[in-house]
Structure 1
């Protein structure tokens, strides 16, 4: 029966061997991918895709203004307390 130290040495040797084989397979796979890309005329940019530039959104203009406090509301979301129960058209900007 093998000793603990011998088994640990075998494990270390097998892990090193596995890493070498993994690197060889990785190199081979990369070469295959490059060959296919060359064969079909594919570039790295084709793989990454075109990214859209996000457009900047401009701030929304206020549609309603409270004449007393001067606070404004765009008309989106919940209506403010100063506008509740009143006609919106009376506060149009």
Structure 2
């Protein structure tokens, strides 16, 4: 069985090897990406445009769960409760 010091030394050596391997694989991946960019005529602006499109996705509307019988106002049950339901302990009577 290895001693604690031996294991710590091996772990440090493995961390160095892991970092070298990560750098080599990252460099290879970047080379592959650059080669494909040249092959397909892709620019950094194209990538930036595509990244912005992914961020601007629309959120799905949450269906309302509660309805005020007086005003007909609806609430999904998410976020701050509206005034018409806030003070009611039993919200079951407002369920849709």
Report the TM-score when normalising by structure 2. Answer: 0.51
- 1:57 match: none
Cα root mean square deviation, aligned: 1.4
Give the number of the structure whose alpha-carbon radius of gyration is greater: 1
- 1:33 match: 33
- Deviations 1:1-44, CA, capped at 9 Å, x for gaps: 21100000000000110010000000000000000000000000
What are the residue-to-residue correspondences of 1:45-56 with 2, within 5 Å? 45-49=45-49
- 1:21 match: 21
Q: Which runs of 4+ in 1 moved over 3 A?
A: none
Structure 2: 5+ residue stretches without partners: 53-96
Count of residues in correspondence between the two structures = 51
1:3 aligns to 2:8 (yes or no): no
In proportion to residue count, which structure has more helix?
A: 2
